[in-house]
Structure 1
Amino acid sequence: MLEQAADALNRQDYKTAAKLIATLVAKHPDDHQIQLYAAQLQEATNKLDNALEIYRLLLQHAVNIKITTEARQGIQRIDRIQSQIQANAVAQARAGIEDNIEPGFLVLEPMSQEQKQATAPKFAGIMNLDPYSARLQLPRRGWRLYRVGQMGELEFYRDRLQTAEIPCFCVSKHDTQQMFVFRVSHFQSFYPKATIVCLDDRAELRTFSFNWSEVTQIVTGMLPIFEEVMEIDARNRTHRKPRILDYVHICDLQLRDRRSIFRLCSQTYDFCDYKQLITQNRTQFTGDLSSQLSGDLSGLLNGERIPSTSHDNWKNLIAQIHKQVPEVHTQSDFTPFAETAIGYPELLNWINPHIELLRRADSPWDRAFQLFSALSMCKDKNSQIDRISTN
């Protein structure tokens, strides 16, 4: 029967071969020669994934040199076929999207270790990678800026990846620029509406009021402050090396319907705007107002004393914001995204970071945060559109 199965394969009589091989596998499931015929049948009937799995198992367990050689050759044939299929699909997609040449970004979303193991082979096939590299490139901690290119090609890859249950999204460069960013100086009030004083792109002070229900997302991150420090090596020679001395906290309040981002920064937020705070709370003071305010004013906020350190002030401010919008999603995985984004210096150069910190030199991390926040708003907007269209 083994010879009959081989003869049927040679004659391309795959129906007969399938019956014979199924019978042989049932009787001798551990026979490597039969498994080889089964893989060749799967390959011949265009079930390439099944054939590839059997060939790989044969390479791991078979000891017969002829069988392992044929299994390796089978893997090579399938790799060539899949590469050609991939190239043809990309060429066809590009031919159909020649007009969509707008630049954009393809972002991979994080997944669990179990998901990575399951989807890495699919990812490898789509992106023409080896399985080991595919596993390394699939993120676990946060977003990964995976590819920058023309939107037509990126949308093609996005659709294939989502079909393979690999979470991702793509956004055009144009969309990331269609929003207003304001640098918050301070809050004038929290109740019943939020009223803030901020700087626009021309560094002019402006005042905005909005309902807390308008806040659709909060984006947070920490920006490193690099300074050059002197180090002495083993030979008593001094060297200058950049080192992270501190971090600055950033918090974006996103109002999707207004296409606006109100950006708070722990280094530049004005915690000492006492006139506004005193005006709000004048009914809580009695007697001589000046005598009550003659001491340290750094703790006055809504009539209460708060810690005077910047860290504690920032914590209390963020806690107050979250108290107003407890149900709003917070996007906080900025650091892993930035670690991939700073690998595209040419990309980041055109981004206006809308961040001004006291540091010796500009940092690509500032621009990476602006991109991160803009992508977050675009993804949130697209998700809202999808929900509306689904309903």
Structure 2
Amino acid sequence: MAKLALFGGEKAVSKSASAYAAPIVAPEAYAKVERLLRAGNISLAPEVAQFEKKFADYMGVSHVIGATNGTATLHMALVAAGVGPGDEVIVPSFTYWATVAPMVSLGAVPVFADVDLSSHLMTAETIVAKITPKTKAIIVVHTWGTPCDMDSILALATKFNIPVIEDASHAHGATYKGKKAGAMADIGCYSLQGSKLMPAGEGGMFATNNPKYYERAMAVGHYERLHTLPEDSPYRKYALTGFGFKYRPNPMAMVLADTALDHLDQWNEVRNRLGRLLDEQLSEFACIEPQTVPEGANRVYAYHYMRYLPEKLGGLSIGSFLKALSAEGVSCGVCGYGRLHQAPLFNGENPFGHGTYRSDASLPVTELLARTAFFAAPRFETATESDVLEYAEAYGKVIENADLLLEVEQEKAVKVEAASGRSINLV
């Protein structure tokens, strides 16, 4: 039995996580950004509309609007869907706060639904019990890059005439039965933040096939473009002010995203192939459950999360498990999701004067995942199969030494710092 690196043995993983990463900014993007700078086009530029058209073509949708960030696009989506004071919006708690928080300023009420244990996703079964006469919208999240089972969700939403918004911030390039994630429901929202698969530094994209939603979303944050809407649009009259927000994206961010889109499918192929290899290697261990993918879905490995089953390893805590993996050179961490239904913002006085919230949701699966889901590996972009096998070796080594780790744990409490709400919280 190999000696754990935690106790002075040799590391199983020979490279740092950064060694597997593709450049965040593609080399050809530098010249494009320089052209904008030299022309002084740092606020308005035709490159924004050009990228919107290019992204719409890639997605297979009619209308796309660029925005300052993904959070802004979710706000635009809620307003476009007509969400207002007192309306209920069904959302997961197992997500980043930006999926939920924009509705607070609108006076809408988040209704938290549970998720499936193996896929980490909301399903039609977890949603249906939360539908009431006040339900105005459903926001689904393609968590970690895995699309939800959209056929059943859309059938349910159609039955009750409820618009569906896709938060596809993890799912650039993912598909479900041949359709792009973010292009299947009424509205799709994407983040282009620097850690995403299409990084722009900061940025977001709003996508829809519905002209009414498109025009209304445009009025939320793009007053300067309202005069371009059709003559009969009811939103042209707001051209002086819009709806009071300014979500115009920086042209340099859109140029970065444009260049990233050129490489997206290529990098996804590498990430997906090597990510699946790690899933296959680790599936032999009873204490680890890779995220499952709904039938008909093709995920992307934006974030590689799995579930740890301590009862399969003698009760060894997730803290001890991850610390031992980290010592072996594995880039790993705890999960920050699954606590929004307990957050003060959604339990107490609405800070915008829209009454008081109280979330009494019972979400046993969400709370279990909050304790046991973990970040298992970085994106393998420039890695080789042998690099992935080193990761598998590290997991095997730690699992083989579980009894020793349990002894140490009993002698000395092992703690991992509480997770923030971010997607990744490294140990």
Task: Tell me whether the two structures share a fold, i.e. TM-score over 0.5.
Answer: no
TM-score relative to the length of structure 1 = 0.21
Greater relative CO (CA pairs within 8 A, separation 6+): 2
More strand by share: 1
| The structure with more radius of gyration | 1
